[in-house]
C-alpha cells in the first residue's frame, strides 16, 4: 500500500530562530494524521530540527546532498554527514537545483545511487518547463528525467523512492496544474513504472504533486486517484497553511 506524504521544502528560508519557532508551531498544531509528514530545513538547521522532532512522527529531510563519500568538494555535504545528524531522507532533482546548479540526469543518478547505498529515502523531483507543455512534449520530458536517473535501479530499491512531479511553470508562481493535469501525468508516470518494473512496484510508489499547492486547492488535487500527496514550497513556511494542507486528505 502506498503512503500519503506531505513534505515541506523550506528552501533557503528560516534561520535558526525561525526554524525553532516554525517547528514548535507544527508540533503544537499537529493532529493525528494518516499522512507522513516531512520537512526540509536548510543544512545548518538540520541538526536542531532533528533534535526537536526526535519524539514526533515528523521526519526531517535534506534539500540536497553530494554523491561522493567524502573529499575535496568545498561547500558540499555527504550522505553520511546527513545521517549523522538524524536525517534519513533527501530531496534530489528539484528544478531549482537543475536550473541554478546545473544538476543533470547523470549527476542525479549518482546522487540517487549514493543516497540509496546509505539506506536513505529519496524524494526524486522532475517536471517539464512551460515550453515543453505548450509544445506537448511534457510526457516525453518527464519520461526521460525518470528513466535516466531511476530506471537502472533494481526493484528492491523502489521501496525507498518517492516520486515528486513538479511542473516547473507551477513552482512558486501561484499557477497550479489543474487536478486533471496532475492526475493525467501521475497516471502516466505510474504506467511507466509498471511497464519497466511491475504493477506491484508501480502501485506501491507514492507520487507527490508539487507546484503552488495551498490550503485552498490541496483537497481537490489530493483527491485524485494517483496523487499521493504533495511537495510544498511557499505554503510550508506557515504552520497553519502547512497543517491545513496535511489535513486536506
Ligand atoms: C517546490 O519548490 O517544490 C514547490 C512546490 O514550491 P511552491 O509550493 O512554492 O510552488
Question: CB-side exposure of 234: number of CA atoms within 13 Å?
Answer: 12
Q: Looking at residue 162, what is its pLDDT? A: 98
**pLDDT for the residue 135:** 96
Query: Is 143 a catalytic site residue?
Result: no
Q: What is the predicted pLDDT for the residue at 36? A: 95
pLDDT at position 172, please?
85
Ligand 1 centre and the CA of 127: distance in Å? 12
- In this prediction, residue 22 carries a pLDDT of 98
* Number of separate domains in the chain: 1
36: containing domain: 5-246
123 touches ligand 1 (CB under 6 Å): no
User: Is 94 an annotated catalytic residue?
Assistant: yes
Backbone angles phi, psi at 66, to 5 degrees: -90, 160
pLDDT value of residue 30? 86
Instruction: Assign residue 222 the CATH number of its domain.
Output: 3.20.20.70
Query: Which residues of the chain are modeled with pLDDT < 70?
Result: none
Q: Per-residue pLDDT tens for 40-64?
A: 999 999 999 999 999 999 999 999 9
127 lines ligand 1 (CB under 6 A): no
Q: Which of 94, 96, 103, 186 is catalytic?
A: 94
Q: Is the CB of 166 under 6 A from ligand 1?
A: yes
Query: Cell 532533482 maps to which residue?
Result: 93
Q: What does the alpha-carbon distance between residue 224 and residue 70 come to, in Å, rounded to a whole number? A: 42
Q: What is the pLDDT of residue 108?
A: 98
Give me the DSSP letters along 50-104. HHHHTTSSEEE-BS---SSSSSS-TT---HHHHHHTT--EEEE--HHHHHHS---
5, 39, 97, 234, best to mutate for ligand 1 pocket (most atoms within 8 Å of CB): 234
pLDDT at 237: 98
* Nearest-atom index, ligand 1, CA of 235: 8
Amino acid at each position: 500500500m502506498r503512503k500519503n506524504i506531505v513534505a515541506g521544502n523550506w528552501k533557503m528560508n528560516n534561520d535558526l530562530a525561525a526554524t525553532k519557532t516554525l517547528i514548535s508551531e507544527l508540533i503544537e498544531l499537529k493532529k493525528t494524521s494518516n499522512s507522513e509528514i516531512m520537512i526540509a530545513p536548510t543544512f545548518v538547521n538540520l541538526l536542531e530540527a532533528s533534535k526537536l522532532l526526535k519524539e514526533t512522527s515528523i521526519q526531517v529531510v535534506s534539500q540536497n546532498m553530494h554523491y561522493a563519500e567524502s573529499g575535496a568538494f568545498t561547500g558540499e555535504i555527504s550522505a553520511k554527514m546527513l545521517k549523522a545528524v538524524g536525517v534519513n531522507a533527501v530531496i534530489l532533482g528539484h528544478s531549482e537545483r537543475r536550473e541554478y546548479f546545473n544538476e543533470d540526469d547523470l549527476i542525479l543518478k549518482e546522487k540517487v545511487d549514493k543516497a540509496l547505498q546509505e539506506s536513505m529515502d529519496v524524494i526524486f523531483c522532475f517536471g517539464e518547463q512551460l515550453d515543453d507543455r505548450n509544445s506537448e512534449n511534457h510526457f516525453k520530458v518527464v519520461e526521460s528525467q525518470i528513466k535516466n536517473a531511476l530506471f537502472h535501479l533494481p526493484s528492491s530499491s523502489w521501496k525507498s523512492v518517492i516520486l515528486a512531479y513538479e511542473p516547473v511553470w507551477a513552482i512558486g508562481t501561484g499557477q497550479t496544474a489543474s487536478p486533471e493535469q496532475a492526475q493525467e501525468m501521475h497516471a502516466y508516470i505510474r504506467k511507466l513504472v509498471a511497464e519497466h518494473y511491475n504493477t506491484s512496484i508501480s502501485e506501491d510508489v507514492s507520487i507527490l504533486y508539487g507546484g503552488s499547492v495551498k490550503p485552498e486547492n490541496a483537497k481537490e488535487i489530493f483527491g485524485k486517484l494517483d496523487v499521493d500527496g504533495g511537495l510544498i514550497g511557499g505554503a510550508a513556511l506557515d504552520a497553519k497553511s502547512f497543517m491545513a494542507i496535511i489535513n486536506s486528505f
